[in-house]
């Protein structure tokens, strides 16, 4: 097959073209038929120019995929795609489907961990063994102080991203089989089990109440009460506006959050995170007082942030103030983060066996599976309490008879 060197040109202006994986591609709609077609030019190694064009596609996406396959075919063999080409195609698709924070995180993984290892390789030549070696290589990367650069969870996320990219390639007929299916991410056989992040990042509810007695600033006192009282994520708290508060029904609506990775307020990643939260009279009264005070400000509207007025607070600001307030409260209070106030709320609810798991999971914006994993330490306390409860029951064991029947041979036989 003739190997070619590409100089891509569109019959039309460059503003109609789109560059993917090093190819300048162009698709257009036929006004007469309503069908899509692709067209362009390339020059082979001996300098001869060639035109190409194909019609009859129902959608622009079909035309784009067909054009890319055509170009890859004349470049290096039918259906053979290099890893960096797959990366470009995949990224263009996920930008339409994923949140900005997710796209940014994927791009960082690809840049620092996937492309340095797989760039230049045809994806049909990447084997399960290659993937296992790559994952172990990533796990072995160290910081300057000798500590692992990638935690086990990040190693897993790298693998899942690669798995998704190869699944995308299979779905779009760029690859016959996903090599990730026959392997998994690297897991250190000597690693000790780790506790969930929430194990130490929470207070007992009595500790929280005592701490609140030490917080004199009304603004921060209100903020800590609301984040714990509703079990909010700090990004959800920062993005809360008065338009999301329903005083008649004692509810607040959570449907957005501040994302640190993209530096703006965005909709949450999962549908579970979108929820209506019922508040106690105490917490709704806090919000009502803030609303009544905010209404007196010039230019007030319900789009004002509950904590921040025209401009919202940043999560870093909340973290810094909480840390200072904990230090000021004294040595009796262990350090927790704003997310620890959310864990405090969840732990308090889970301590009541009369509240169904499903209701707690819905309030926290979790599935039951995530709830159990995140708060496994609380369930362990419940198991211990269960045994104590059983030990405290009244004695009901029957007294053992002096003569015990040990086998059927000892039993009298009835002749009927």
Q: Is residue 266 located within the same domain as residue 148?
A: no
DSSP SS3 for 49: strand
3-state helix, strand, coil in the chain (%, to 5): 50, 15, 40
| CB-based contacts of 250, cutoff 8 Å, min separation 6 | 278, 279, 280, 281, 284
Is the separation of the CB atoms in 45 and 3 below 8 Å? yes
Positive or negative, the CA dihedral 386, 392, 397, 400 is positive
Residues in the chain: 416
Residue among 41, 45, 47 at smallest CA distance from 17: 41
Following DSSP, what letter does each residue of 257-320 receive, concatenated? Answer: EEETTTTEEE--SSGGG-EEEE--HHHHHHHHHHHHHHTTSTT--TTSBTTTBTSPPPHHHHHH
CATH of the domain at 118: 1.10.150.130
10 Å CB burial of residue 203 (0-12, 13-18, 19+) is buried
User: Domain range holding 141?
Assistant: 91-182
Q: Is residue 114 located within the same domain as residue 236?
A: no
Q: 215 lies in a domain?
A: yes
Q: 391 lies in a domain?
A: no
Q: Is residue 177 located within the same domain as residue 220?
A: no
Q: Bridge-partner residues for 252, per DSSP?
A: 245, 277
Q: Is residue 241 located within the same domain as residue 332?
A: yes
185: phi > 0 → left, psi -120 to 50 → alpha, else beta; which? Answer: beta
The residue from 297, 320, 336 where one domain ends is 336
| CB-based contacts of 72, cutoff 8 Å, min separation 6 | 78, 79, 80, 81, 85
Residue 401 is predicted with a pLDDT of 52
Residue 346 is predicted with a pLDDT of 93
Q: What is the mean pLDDT of each run of 10 residues along the chain (416 residues)?
A: 37 47 72 90 56 87 84 57 88 82 89 95 94 95 90 91 92 87 88 60 94 96 98 96 97 92 80 94 97 94 93 92 94 93 93 89 91 80 74 65 52 53
Residue 88 is predicted with a pLDDT of 87
Angle formed by the axes of helices 338-350 and 376-391, nearest 10°: 30
Residue 244 is predicted with a pLDDT of 97
Residue 213 is predicted with a pLDDT of 96
Residue 260 is predicted with a pLDDT of 74
d(CA 218, CA 281): 18
d(CA 60, CA 38): 9
* Structural domain total, the chain: 3
Structure tokens given for 34: 């309503």
Structure tokens given for 180: 């990730």
């Amino acid at each position: 097959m003739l190997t070619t060197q590409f100089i891509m040109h569109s019959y039309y202006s460059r503003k109609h073209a789109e560059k993917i994986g090093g190819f300048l591609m162009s698709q257009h709609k036929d006004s007469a038929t309503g069908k899509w077609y692709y067209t362009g030019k390339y020059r082979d190694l001996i300098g001869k120019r060639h035109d190409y064009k194909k019609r009859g596609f129902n959608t622009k996406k079909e035309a784009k995929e067909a054009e890319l396959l055509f170009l890859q075919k004349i470049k290096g063999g039918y259906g053979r795609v290099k890893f960096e080409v797959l990366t470009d195609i995949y990224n263009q698709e996920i930008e339409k489907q994923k949140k900005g924070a997710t796209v940014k995180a994927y791009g960082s993984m690809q840049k620092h961990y996937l492309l340095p290892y797989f760039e230049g390789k045809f994806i049909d030549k990447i084997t399960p063994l290659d993937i296992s070696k790559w994952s172990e290589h990533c796990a072995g990367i160290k910081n300057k102080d000798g500590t692992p650069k990638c935690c086990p969870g990040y190693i897993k996320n790298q693998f899942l991203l690669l798995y998704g990219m190869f699944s995308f390639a299979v779905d779009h007929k760029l690859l016959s089989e996903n090599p990730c299916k026959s392997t998994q991410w690297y897991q250190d056989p000597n690693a000790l089990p780790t506790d969930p992040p929430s194990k130490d990042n929470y207070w007992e509810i009595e500790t929280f109440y005592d701490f609140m007695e030490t917080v004199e600033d009304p603004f921060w006192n209100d903020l800590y009460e609301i984040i714990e009282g509703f079990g909010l994520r700090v990004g959800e708290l920062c993005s809360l506006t008065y338009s999301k508060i329903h005083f008649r029904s004692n509810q607040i609506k959570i449907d957005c959050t501040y994302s640190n990775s993209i530096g703006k307020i965005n909709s949450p990643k999962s549908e579970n995170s979108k929820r209506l939260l019922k508040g106690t009279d105490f917490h709704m009264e806090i919000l009502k007082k803030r609303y009544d005070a905010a209404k007196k400000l010039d230019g007030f509207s319900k789009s004002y942030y509950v904590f921040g007025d025209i401009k919202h607070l940043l999560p870093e600001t909340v973290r810094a103030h909480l840390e200072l307030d904990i230090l000021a409260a004294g040595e009796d209070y262990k350090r927790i983060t704003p997310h620890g106030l959310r864990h405090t709320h969840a732990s308090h609810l889970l301590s009541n066996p009369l509240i169904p798991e499903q209701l707690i999971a819905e309030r926290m914006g979790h599935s039951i599976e995530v709830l159990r994993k995140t708060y496994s330490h609380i369930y362990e306390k419940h198991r211990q309490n269960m045994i104590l409860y059983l030990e405290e029951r009244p004695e009901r064991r029957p007294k053992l008879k002096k003569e015990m029947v040990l086998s059927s041979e000892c039993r009298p036989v009835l002749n009927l």
